[in-house]
């Protein structure tokens, strides 16, 4: 017997509108199916490539496609959902014209981890829809992250969990396989302002801007350098897992602007990854920028737009911004 008793359904009844509760329940139901498929692994025939590329030019895994189809079908049948946008699909899918919500999702973040039995997850963001009675189009989705009414992620790790914000803090739920329900384990997740742990793919160092190189050099120098303390690196190569670690025990995560691929302003997607994770991180007391500007203030120009991301412990996010300010450059290397 444990001390936890509030289910996701009870939490939503107390804290969310009927429309939001319904959309989040639909997402949670789909996540349980995805979690079961992941549990079966190779036995469910989900390992390996699907044989196509997604809109981002990445090889799709079989479970990317299955998860995408599951979420898309469930959400487009939800009466409150006016439209859906998936990281895996070129175009948005209009749903129910009378709905009041738009949902964007990354069906399986970190999917290259599936074949090696490591953590993956589903990230979602919910925006308001204002043109009831009319068919949703891409322009309706192009809202800054500050407009999000809810966001979160389902993480499929050693256990399946949900981190959720409705704009009043962050709640963490754990999936209970015996009752098949998400159960509240922490209704006030908070991130420390300072940290000694950072996450970045350091193999990209030669492509970074000078302020990011300077920052990481300072961390690597540890107590012999400007920071005067030692830091540890952690990199799961699935944003969902790196962000989850930060919510649980602190840290800073970066996928900064780099010059590796011409014309790409960083690797992560604003609407499917950066905005929902920024909402969660800010609501837990952390900060999230593109290195200089608050991510949730960026008005998207395209649903598949990419942005540099620096998020987590406030002190580190501010320190990185100060290095860019000192160098007089923006997050993409332009002069400030």
> Binding to ligand F6P by residue 274, rule CB under 6 A?
no
Query: Is 286 flagged in the annotation as binding?
Result: no
- CA dist., res. 326 & res. 320, Å (int): 10
The token pair that represents 202 in the structure block: 């350091």
> Binding to ligand F6P by residue 306, rule CB under 6 A?
no
Query: Is 87 flagged in the annotation as binding?
Result: yes
CB 168 within 8 A of CB 152: no
> Binding to ligand F6P by residue 110, rule CB under 6 A?
yes
List, in order, residues 6 or more apart from 256 with CB less than 8 Å away. Answer: 200, 208, 209, 212, 266, 291, 308, 309, 310, 331
Closest CB to ligand F6P among 258 and 316?
Answer: 258
CA atoms within 13 A of residue 227's CA, in its CB half-sphere = 21
Tell me the residue length of the chain. 336
> Binding to ligand F6P by residue 24, rule CB under 6 A?
no
Based on its alpha-carbon atoms, the radius of gyration of the chain, rounded to whole angstroms, reads 19
Q: Which residue is nearest to ligand F6P (CB)?
A: 239
One of 109, 140, 258, 290 touching ligand F6P (CB under 6 A): 109
- The stretch among 29-37, 38-46, 266-274, 318-326 that binds ligand F6P (CB under 6 A) is 266-274
The token pair that represents 97 in the structure block: 């014209």
Q: By CB under 6 A, what part of segment 225-254 binds ligand F6P?
A: 237-239
Query: Is 267 flagged in the annotation as binding?
Result: yes
Query: Is 334 flagged in the annotation as binding?
Result: no
Query: Is 18 flagged in the annotation as binding?
Result: no
- The stretch among 17-25, 131-139, 216-224, 265-273 that binds ligand F6P (CB under 6 A) is 265-273
Q: By CB under 6 A, what part of segment 122-151 binds ligand F6P?
A: none
- CA dist., res. 69 & res. 122, Å (int): 13
Task: Give the interface size with ligand F6P as a residue count (CB under 6 A).
Answer: 10
- CA dist., res. 18 & res. 280, Å (int): 21
Query: Is 106 flagged in the annotation as binding?
Result: yes
Query: Is 40 flagged in the annotation as binding?
Result: no
User: Going by DSSP bridges, is the β-strand pair 232-233/197-199 parallel, antiparallel, or unpaired?
Assistant: parallel
Residues in a beta bridge with 6: none
> Binding to ligand F6P by residue 267, rule CB under 6 A?
yes
Closest CB to ligand F6P among 53 and 180?
Answer: 53
- How many other C-beta atoms can be found within 10 angstroms of the C-beta atom of residue 328? 9
One of 201, 232, 233, 259 touching ligand F6P (CB under 6 A): 201
> Binding to ligand F6P by residue 276, rule CB under 6 A?
no
Residue with tokens 């289910």: 7
The token pair that represents 98 in the structure block: 């009378």
Interface positions with ligand F6P (CB under 6 A):
109-110, 201, 237-239, 255, 267-268, 273
Binding site members for substrate: 109-112, 201, 267
Binding site members: 87, 106, 108-112, 201, 267, 273
């Amino acid at each position: 017997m444990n001390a936890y008793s509030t289910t996701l359904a009870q939490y939503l009844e107390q804290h969310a509108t009927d429309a939001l509760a319904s959309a989040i329940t639909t997402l949670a139901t789909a996540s349980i199916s995805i979690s079961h498929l992941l549990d079966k692994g190779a036995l469910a025939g989900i390992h390996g490539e699907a044989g196509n590329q997604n809109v981002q030019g990445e090889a799709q895994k079989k479970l990317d496609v299955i998860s995408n189809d599951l979420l898309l079908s469930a959400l487009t049948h939800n009466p409150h959902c006016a439209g859906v946008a998936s990281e895996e699909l070129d175009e948005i899918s209009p749903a129910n014209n009378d709905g009041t919500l738009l949902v964007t999702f990354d069906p399986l973040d970190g999917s290259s981890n599936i074949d090696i039995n490591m953590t993956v997850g589903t990230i979602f963001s919910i925006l308001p829809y204002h043109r009831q009675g009319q068919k949703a189009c891409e322009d309706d989705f192009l809202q800054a992250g500050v407009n999000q009414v809810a966001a979160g992620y389902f993480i499929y790790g050693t256990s399946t969990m949900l981190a959720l914000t409705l704009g009043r803090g962050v709640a963490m739920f754990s999936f209970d396989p015996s009752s098949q329900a998400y159960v509240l384990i922490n209704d006030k997740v908070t991130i420390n302002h300072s940290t000694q742990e950072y996450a970045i793919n350091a193999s990209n160092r030669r492509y970074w801007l000078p302020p990011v190189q300077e920052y990481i050099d300072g961390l690597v120098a540890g107590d012999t350098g400007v920071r005067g303390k030692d830091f540890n690196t952690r990199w799961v190569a699935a944003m969902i897992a790196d962000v989850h670690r930060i919510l649980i025990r602190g840290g800073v995560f970066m996928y900064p602007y780099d010059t590796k691929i011409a014309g790409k302003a960083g690797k992560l997607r604003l609407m499917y990854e950066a905005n929902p994770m920024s909402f969660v991180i800010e609501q837990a007391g952390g900060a999230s920028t593109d290195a200089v500007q608050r991510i949730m203030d960026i008005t998207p120009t395209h649903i598949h737009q990419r942005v540099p991301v620096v998020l987590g412990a406030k002190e580190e996010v501010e320190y990185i911004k100060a290095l860019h300010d000192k160098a007089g450059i923006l997050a993409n290397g332009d002069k400030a």
